[in-house]
Amino acid sequence: MKDRSMYDLCETITIKDGRSVVVRSPKPGDGELVRDYLCKLGASTDFVLSFPGDIRPASAYEEHVEMALRGEFYSISAIHPDDGSIIASTAFMMNTRVKTAHIATLGTGVLPDWQGAGLGKWMLDRAINDIKVNPKILKLELGVIKGNHIAQRMYERAGFEVEGCKLKSIKQPSGVFEDEILMGMWIGQ
């Protein structure tokens, strides 16, 4: 079941600092934009799993566009008003295994120059509301690297609860191990 709000989003929003951005659904040809964004995001912080050396070719991200059109993936991106680059993204990957097909896993990030102005919160709230129309999805899950207090508080305010911790599940390129906080939100009836 496709809901137009999930697949055809193109909305201009104004964030707290007065800047306006377009938030939209993925479209064919976005692969290179996504790849560039993930490289920038991964280079900007140790609090995301993306690392510049791990980023796949643009064609791999084009596959996500096709998956979104089939309802197997959800993604929205905020677009820089001047150069058309992606500055923030929120995505849900639907699980495909029979026993976990009721779960969607969240990934989100905002580039540093756009943080602190409510963009991440707006995108997270929109994504959660959009994914709730999918009757197959009953639970949302995510992982946040321990110490990323700002992101964890944003998720908690959105309704996620801490469900556990995976000790030393992240190994930074420097060799330092980090714990991963597991969070979830039940959206089923």
The domain total for the chain is 1
- Any idea which of 11-15, 64-68, 177-181 has the lowest mean pLDDT? 64-68
> What pTM was computed for the model?
0.90
Domain that holds residue 131: 4-186
Per-chain mean pLDDT for the chain: 92
Average pLDDT rounded to a whole number, residues 158-164: 98
**93-152 per-position pLDDT tens digit:** 998 899 999 999 999 999 999 999 999 999 999 999 999 999 999 999 999 999 999 999
pLDDT tens string 15-71: 999 999 999 999 889 999 999 999 999 999 999 988 878 888 888 888 888 888 788
Report which residue type is found at 27.
Answer: K
pLDDT cut 70: percent of the chain above it: 96
CATH of the domain at 82: 3.40.630.30
How confident is the model over 95-112, as pLDDT tens digits? 889 999 999 999 999 999
